[in-house]
Structure 1
Amino acid sequence: MAKKDKELSYSELIVKRDELKRKYMDFRFQMAIGHVDNPMQKRTMRREIATMNTLIRQKELAGLNK
């Protein structure tokens, strides 16, 4: 997954991060209600968001954020 994500453009990374954040919030609400099959998915989603943030920051520092 990381190799494919590194090839995305800056704007695509932003869109993907926002989508992951939205899914993470929905997952948190499901956990509060108690309808979650795999609670370890929360950790995976947080790590994916962190990876997106790292890639976005790398593009910003490289000057590719346009």
Structure 2
Amino acid sequence: MKQSEIKELSTAELQEKLSETRKSYSDLKMAHVVSPLENPIQIRSVRRTVARIATELTKRELQ
């Protein structure tokens, strides 16, 4: 998910998306521990998406 897409979402949508993305991140990590993923770069991209969403939420709180 790109930063421009994140900025267009409302705060409630961002919070919902953050919880979904965090869940998918933990699922990917667990799957990778059990058996190696075919594309482990997925973990990095999901982690960065979580960070982008969290950053946007923090930025909105400070304004």
| 1:54 equivalent in structure 2 | 55
Offset of residue 2 of structure 1: 1.4
Instruction: Please say which structure displays the higher CA radius of gyration.
Output: 1
Higher helix fraction (1 or 2): 2
1:8 is aligned to 2:12: no
Name the % identity.
32
User: Structure 2: which 5+ runs fail to align?
Assistant: none
CA deviation after TM superposition for structure 1 residue 35, in Å = 4.6
**Partners of 1:60 and 1:14 in 2: CA distance:** 12
Residue in 2 that maps onto 1:42:
43
Give the aligned residue type for 2:12.
S
After alignment, is 33-42 or 52-61 more displaced? 33-42
What is the TM-score of this pair, normalised by structure 1?
0.87
Q: Structure 1 residue 7: deviation in Å?
A: 1.1
TM-score by length of 2: 0.90
* Distance in structure 2 (CA, Å) of the matches to 1:30 and 1:15: 23
Q: Which runs of 4+ in 1 moved over 2 A?
A: none
Segments of structure 1 that go 5 or more residues without pairing to the other structure are none
